[in-house]
Amino acid sequence: MKRYSVFAIAREAARYHLGWERAWASPEPRASYDAIIVGAGGHGLATAYYLGKNHGITNVAVIEKGWLGGGNTGRNTTIIRSNYLQDSSAAIYEKSRSLYETLSQELNYNVMFSPRGVMMLAQTHHEVRGYQRTAHANALQGVATEFITPQRVKELCPILNIDGPRYPVLGALWQPRGGTGRHDAVAWGYARACSAMGMHIIQNCEVKGVRSENGQVTGVETTKGFIGCKKLGLVVAGHSGQLAEMAGFRLPIEAVALQALVSEPIKPCMDVVVMANTVHGYMSQSDKGEMVIGGGTDGFNNYTQRGSFHHIEETLRALVETFPIISRLKMLRQWGGIVDMTGDRSPIISKTPLGNCFINCGWGTGGFKAIPGSGWAMAELMAKGEPGPLAAEFNMWRFKEGQFIDESVAAGVAH
């Protein structure tokens, strides 16, 4: 892998940019691998990367039915924060956020991490109490957050209407080192680094079945034939139910659509991320000037990557009330992704009933921020066969035991 640098740009500028090489290879699959990851989204690629980097396992294939990063990783609104309530959540999301701080240097790929600050508005007294509690919990967890006044909210984000008629802003939970990143670049950066370690990223290859013998996984049936493996990681977000069925078990997960949209580009007017969970909408401004907007999920099982229009209306209604300045903006694009929602709104990083088959899923509406930390924890689980401290509590048996990691009360919108 040739490193990207200012010298490389200068060198290529001098020779008509003919010397850039492909960022990753597109090999044909080998007969078998030490480990196969299904799903080349951010979580799958990060898992492969840390398998190599932290555990020295590089005979790895990442198998993707479409193109890498074409799932939710390329469809999300890129909010990165770690101000969760429960200790186990704060641990993994803060690990992830802190890895984002140096990810561009680590991968030699600009992921445009922008710690511009994330503000979650409190617009009911219930939310004020909830976020004050979260701020106290975060203080104990070592996550830097703060409950701020409406005046401070207005200073940080002048385009916000803090005396709205329905839900005036009563304060906010502020995480100054939260922010955004470039979603595609995260997938591409990890893919490039995996390819450089000799791993195979096999795109346009759908996994159709999981083969096992005596309760141990032996490989996967794919559209490019059978591929053997010693260890298998299922990291397919919205399609987790399908892959689990192939591996012979069920998950506490429903697949539903979540949509996002962006406006026409305008001059810089907002340099923080604002989430308004009571009215159900959130917004940030991209480097191109577009307002990046999201809201709530649809309420029924759906694999079409299309959502219901009334949710867009609902989201925009909420945001026009919160940011009157956007009422005349034209929206440019709108799209959907299929998110994997668990009962307690927390992810699953777990062994499964099938031997040497592991699963990482359930990130639902909020897993972009978790990509580095989740990959780190999943790689540890796959390499050692047992979860490390980051993953332990996110096992899939917590539902049977009633040991939920309940984040649904902490945030109505969990992005």
Ligand X SMILES: Cc1cc2nc3c(=O)[nH]c(=O)nc-3n(C[C@H](O)[C@H](O)[C@H](O)COP(=O)(O)OP(=O)(O)OC[C@H]3O[C@@H](n4cnc5c(N)ncnc54)[C@H](O)[C@@H]3O)c2cc1C
Applying CB under 8 A, the residues found at the interface with other proteins are 239, 241-242, 245, 250-255, 299-304, 306, 308-310, 343, 399-401
Closer CB to other proteins, 20 or 303, in the complex: 303
Helices 183-196 + 42-55 axis angle, to 10: 40
For the bound state, the minimum distance from the C-beta of residue 248 to other proteins, rounded and expressed in Å, comes to 12
* Binding of ligand X by 44 (CB under 6 A): yes
Choose the contact partner of 297 out of ligand X, other proteins, none; CB within 5 to 8 A by kind: none
For residues 46 and 376, the answer to whether their CB atoms sit within 8 Å is yes
Helix (H, G, I), strand (E, B) or coil at 199: coil
User: Which residues ranging from 330 to 369 are in contact with ligand X (CB under 6 A)?
Assistant: 337, 339, 363, 365-369
Per-residue HEC secondary structure of 262-329 comes to EECCCCCCCCCEEEECCCCEEEEECCCCCEEEEEEEEEEECCCCCCCHHHHHHHHHHHHHHCHHHHHC
Gap between the terminal Cα atoms of the chain: 34
Taking the C-alpha atoms of residue 237 and residue 367, their distance in angstroms, rounded to an integer, is: 9
Choose the contact partner of 115 out of other proteins, ligand X, none; CB within 5 to 8 A by kind: none
* Binding of ligand X by 186 (CB under 6 A): no
* Binding of ligand X by 375 (CB under 6 A): no
Q: Which residue, among 203, 291, 163, has the nearest Cα to 22 in the 3D structure?
A: 203
**Around Cβ 393, how many Cβ atoms within 10 Å?**
18
Residue type, 226: F
* Binding of ligand X by 96 (CB under 6 A): no
For the bound state, the minimum distance from the C-beta of residue 361 to other proteins, rounded and expressed in Å, comes to 11
Choice from 35, 51, 62, 72 touching ligand X (CB under 6 A): 72
Q: Which residue, among 229, 204, 187, has the nearest Cα to 30 in the 3D structure?
A: 229
* Binding of ligand X by 383 (CB under 6 A): no
Closer CB to ligand X, 171 or 296, in the complex: 296
For residues 329 and 263, the answer to whether their CB atoms sit within 8 Å is yes
Closer CB to other proteins, 59 or 308, in the complex: 308
User: Which residues ranging from 104 to 133 are in contact with ligand X (CB under 6 A)?
Assistant: none
Taking the C-alpha atoms of residue 143 and residue 124, their distance in angstroms, rounded to an integer, is: 24
* Binding of ligand X by 194 (CB under 6 A): no
For the bound state, the minimum distance from the C-beta of residue 367 to ligand X, rounded and expressed in Å, comes to 2
Cα 58 from chain centroid (whole Å): 24
Q: What is the per-residue binding string for ligand X in 283-322, x denoting contact by CB under 6 A?
A: -----------x----------------------------
* Binding of ligand X by 233 (CB under 6 A): no
For the bound state, the minimum distance from the C-beta of residue 402 to other proteins, rounded and expressed in Å, comes to 9
Closer CB to ligand X, 20 or 300, in the complex: 300
Choose the contact partner of 259 out of ligand X, other proteins, none; CB within 5 to 8 A by kind: ligand X
Closer CB to ligand X, 23 or 170, in the complex: 23
* Binding of ligand X by 70 (CB under 6 A): yes
Both tokens assigned to 320: 């026009």
Taking the C-alpha atoms of residue 378 and residue 366, their distance in angstroms, rounded to an integer, is: 17
For residues 252 and 350, the answer to whether their CB atoms sit within 8 Å is no
For the bound state, the minimum distance from the C-beta of residue 285 to other proteins, rounded and expressed in Å, comes to 30
Choose the contact partner of 97 out of other proteins, ligand X, none; CB within 5 to 8 A by kind: none
Helices 87-101 + 371-384 axis angle, to 10: 110
Summarize as ranges the residues that interact with ligand X (CB under 6 A): 38-44, 63-66, 70-73, 75-79, 206-207, 235-237, 239, 258-260, 294, 337, 339, 363, 365-369, 415
